[in-house]
Amino acid sequence: MRWGKGGDLFATAGLGRGGVEPRPRSRTPATGCAGNEALRHTVLVPRRAALIAACVAALLILPGLGLTPLVDWDESIYAAVSLGVLENGPFRLEWNGERYDRKPPLLFWAMALSYRFLGVSEASARAPSALAGIATVGLAAWAAARRAGLVAGLAAPAFLLGSELFLERGGRRACTDALVIAFSMGALVLAQSDRRRSRRRWGAGGAVGLAILSKGAVGLLAPASLWLAGVTGRDREQRRSAVWIGTVGLVLASPWYVYRIVADGSAFLATHFGREIMIRVLQPIHGTGAPWWYPLWVLWRGGGPWVVLAFGAAAASALADRSRRPETAPWIIAAILVLGVSMAMQTKLPWYPLAVLPMLAVSGSIALGGALLPEDSRIAVALRVGFALIALATLSTAGRAREDVLAGEREFEDFRRLGTRVAAIVAEEPFIGATEEHPSLVFYGGRPIRRFGADELDRLVLDPKALPRTALVPAEHAGALLAAGAVELGRLGDRVLVRRGASSEVLSSRDVQAARP
């Protein structure tokens, strides 16, 4: 692309500073054509940026989607729940033989649909989240290019794709985060559109509803940030629009919640809102407590220096030029909301501040791409070149980030191998015993797992009249069980999968303990 007059890249796209179309100087036919040309470029530049970004994202996210095993816990749990939806229908969410009320259903519906058309596999389990991650990258490019031109539109996705955290949890992994972020981004993009305003507001409300059905209360991020941006900008119309969008989203999502409350009442409320929201806010669960600054460290490690640069640029832009605030305010406020909540919660997991990354990528790229540029053309060119180099440097790490994500997934190959063996040789077992949960074994083995104390599990395995007959026991317990007639079926780290043998004896706990080395 050639530089426009005065070295302004955006002049060649028919855009003014920050990607806003210039006002026609007259109403002559020639000028009218020029005005239409400017409007055409205003639409084409974001489309081109989004298309390029989505293609690059697809090259980084989609290849090898099914080559690595599902990661234990969330991926395997969601894959198993979705398999139940495929077999039992969309309103029966079950995992490990029990009702599953922890998450809303949209991800499970999408994964079940993927299973139906692509077959049950790791690739089909990850496909909905992967497509959502690609959509997030494309939307980030669109939003930045629409406000600040092509360079900003390509920088925003470059920042995201260089992040291991985003590629892992916002793209490849079969998790709810990718969907809620994509729909929230879509809602913000539609809400900020200045054409066909009524239709776009309905679309934004629909996106919020889908975000709520993806991850509950987190789906209200877009209307909350839009409303707060209206408060800070003293824009009553924007506040009304935010309330409208949020209301449409809640109405769209409410039938499923009403159905679950009517069907299960207090049990659903206690799990979905009590355990998954209130308890996580008030106390650490699963041993995931961390200092208040932990999300900041996660963002630094998952994003890098550009996170600080983007936040500083967006803040400086808003402070320096009040007219620029409406362009960046919803995005930077959304980032602050996510960061504040993730810092305040007592349960702190690495992916809680994930949504900060795309919000900062958009707001920072808008600011760096247009809002802070001086009128002197040489300095403008130098700043744009520096900005582009930073984005390219970040994007250059995308390949390594992808390999790190794949390496982390390969660590769970033993779960897939043992689970496949379980499915082949103990399919007749009603359940498998264990001392702790192993979601990947539940998915790959196709058998529920019931937890017991180690000593109780030893006794049950060797009792011919009791269940389970097959159990995953600690290695220090396996020797005594094998000596008493149990058969070893496989190993998983320091755990041994054993099955009661035909000649197994009934031993007391004291006998088993005495037989241990």
Distance of CA 219 to the CA centre of its chain: 12
Of 110, 168, 164, 133, whose CA–CA distance to 53 is shortest?
133
Which of 204, 183, 205, 188 has the alpha carbon at shortest distance from 107?
183
3-state secondary structure of 240: helix
- Region class of 307: left (phi > 0), else alpha (psi between -120 and 50), else beta: alpha
Residue environment code for 138-158, b if the CB has 16+ CB neighbours within 10 A, otherwise e: bbbbbbbbbbbbbbbbbbbbb
Q: Is 479 exposed, middle or buried (0-12, 13-18, 19+ CB in 10 A)?
A: middle
One-letter amino acid of 230: G
Q: Hunting for tokens 């406020």 — which residue is that?
A: 333
Which 3 state secondary structure label does DSSP give 94? strand
Q: Could you give the CA distance from residue 257 to residue 210 in angstroms, rounded to a whole number?
A: 13
The per-residue pLDDT for 380 is 65
Cα–Cα nearest to 73, from 484, 342, 440? 440
Amino acid (1-letter code) at residue 104: P
**Alpha-carbon torsion 158, 160, 163, 164, what sign?**
negative
| Burial (CB count within 10 angstroms: exposed 0-12, middle 13-18, buried 19+), residue 514 | exposed
Q: Across the 517 residues of the chain, what is the mean pLDDT of every consecutive 10-residue run?
A: 36 40 40 38 84 96 94 93 94 91 96 97 97 98 91 92 93 95 97 75 96 97 96 91 96 96 91 90 79 93 85 78 79 96 92 95 86 57 76 89 94 94 89 92 94 93 91 92 91 92 53 45
Q: What's the burial of 42, exposed, middle or buried (CB within 10 Å: 0-12/13-18/19+)?
A: buried
pLDDT at 12: 36
| Nearest by Cα to 253 from 321, 295, 207 | 207
Domain ranges of the chain: 5-409, 413-515
- Distance in angstroms (rounded) separating the CA atoms of residues 434 and 441: 11
* CA dist., res. 106 & res. 283, Å (int): 27
Burial class for 445, CB neighbours closer than 10 Å (0-12, 13-18, 19+): buried
Q: What is the Cβ-side half-sphere exposure of residue 221, based on CA atoms within 13 angstroms?
A: 35
Query: What residues form DSSP beta bridges with 473?
Result: 496
Place of tokens 């989609």: 62
